[in-house]
A and B are shown apart, each in its own frame.
Chain A
C-alpha cells in the first residue's frame, strides 16, 4: 500500500484537517469481492438445488445473506472495532435494532390478525 502524500503525524496536523489515510486497499476490496461472489453463488446453489432440507431453506438463505452483509460492512465500508469507528458501530447497532423491530413486529402482528380472521369460505357462505 503506497501513500503518495508525505506521512503526516497527528501532531503537525491542524485540528479537524483531513488525514491522508487511504480508504482501504486493493487487496481488501478484492477479498471482499471474492467473498461476496462466493456467498451469492452459494445462495443461488442452495435455492436451486436440494442440498438443504426444504423447510430449512429460508433460514439457510438468511444466514448466507447476513454473512454477505457482514462481508460488505467489513471489506467495503471498512467498519472495524477501531476507536475511530465506535460511533459508526453504535449507530449500526441501533439501526439493526429498529429494522428487527419493524420487520419482526409487522410479521407477528399480521400473522396474529390472520389467525383471528374468519376463513374466506365461511364469509362466502354467510353471504348466501
Chain B
C-alpha cells in the first residue's frame, strides 16, 4: 500500500514498491485504517440490501398499523442524541489516549459505553413495546423488514459495546502502545460508521415514516 507514493515514478518494478522520492511505504497505521475502511464499506453494502428491502416493503402493511401508528419519535430522538454524543466522546477518548491522558481516556470511553448501552436499552424497549402491541417481526412484510434492518444495527451496537470493554481492558493491561492505539482507531471508525448507518435509518425509517 503505497498511498504516499501515488503520482511518483518507481525506480524499478520490484515488489517492494519504494517510491523514487524516498517517501517509503505508508505507515502501518495508514494501511490498517485502509483495511478496516474496506471492511466498513462492505458492512455498509450489506446494510444497503436491507435498506432496499425496507424501502420496498414499508408500504405493505396489509391494512394493519403502519409507521405512523407504531413509531414513537420522542424515544427515537433520545436514541439519536445518545448515539451522536457517544461518537463525540469516543473521538475525545481517542485524542486523550494519544496524548497519554489516561484519566480522560477512561472517562470518555466509560461515557461512550454508557451512552451506547442507553441507546440499546431504548431500542430493546421499543421492540418490546411493538411486539407487545401484536406488531412483532413475524406479523407482516413491513414489520419483518423493519425488525431485520433496525435489529441488525442494534446487533452491531451490541458488538461495539463488547468491543469497548475488551479494548479498554487491553489499554489498561498493555498500556497505550502502537498496536493498541491502532485497534482503538479501528474501534472508533467502527463506532462512527454505526452513526452513519443510524442517520440513514433515522431519515428513511422514522422521519419519512412519521412525517406530519
Contacts and interface: CB of A to CB of B under 8 A. Distances in A.
Given A16-B25, A48-B211, A69-B199, A106 B1 contact: no
Given A40-B80, A87-B1, A106-B55, A23 B188 contact: yes
Contacts of A29: 88, 91-92, 95
Contact of B199 (A25, A65, A98): A65
A27 B5 CA distance: 30
B178 A18 contact: yes
B165 interface: no
Q: How large is the interface on B (under 10, 10 to 19, 20 to 34, 35 or more residues)?
A: 35 or more
Nearest to A86: B6
A37 B172 CA distance: 32
Contacts of B87: 33, 36, 72, 76
A124 interface: no
Contact of B203 (A43, A84, A110): A43
Nearest to A100: B48
A83 to B, nearest CB: 6
B55 A10 contact: no
B209 to A, nearest CB: 9
Given A29-B91, A58-B208, A76-B87, A22 B99 contact: yes
B171 interface: no
B77 to A, nearest CB: 6
A22 B181 CA distance: 11
A84 B32 CA distance: 13
Contacts of B100: 4
A61 B88 contact: no
A44 B26 CA distance: 42
A95 B200 contact: no
Nearest to B77: A44
B118 interface: no
Contacts of A91: 34, 37-38, 41
A17 B212 contact: no
A76 B207 contact: no
A47 B207 contact: yes
Contacts of B178: 18
Interface of A: 2-4, 10, 13, 15-19, 22-26, 29-30, 32-33, 36-37, 40, 43-44, 46-50, 54, 57-58, 61-62, 64-65, 68-69, 72-73, 76-77, 83-88, 91-92, 94-95, 98-99, 102-103, 105-107, 110
Interface of B: 1, 3-4, 6-7, 23-30, 33-34, 37-38, 41-42, 44-45, 48-49, 51-53, 55-56, 73, 77, 80, 84-85, 87-88, 91-92, 94-95, 98-100, 178, 181-182, 185, 188-189, 192, 195-196, 199-200, 202-204, 207-208, 210-212
10 smallest A-B Cβ distances: which pairs? A106-B52, A95-B41, A47-B207, A65-B203, A99-B48, A29-B91, A76-B192, A33-B88, A15-B24, A110-B56
28 contacts: A4-B99, A15-B24, A16-B27, A17-B28, A18-B178, A22-B98, A25-B95, A26-B95, A29-B88, A33-B87, A37-B84, A43-B202, A44-B73, A47-B211, A62-B203, A65-B202, A69-B199, A72-B192, A76-B91, A77-B192, A86-B6, A88-B33, A91-B38, A92-B37, A95-B45, A99-B44, A102-B45, A103-B48
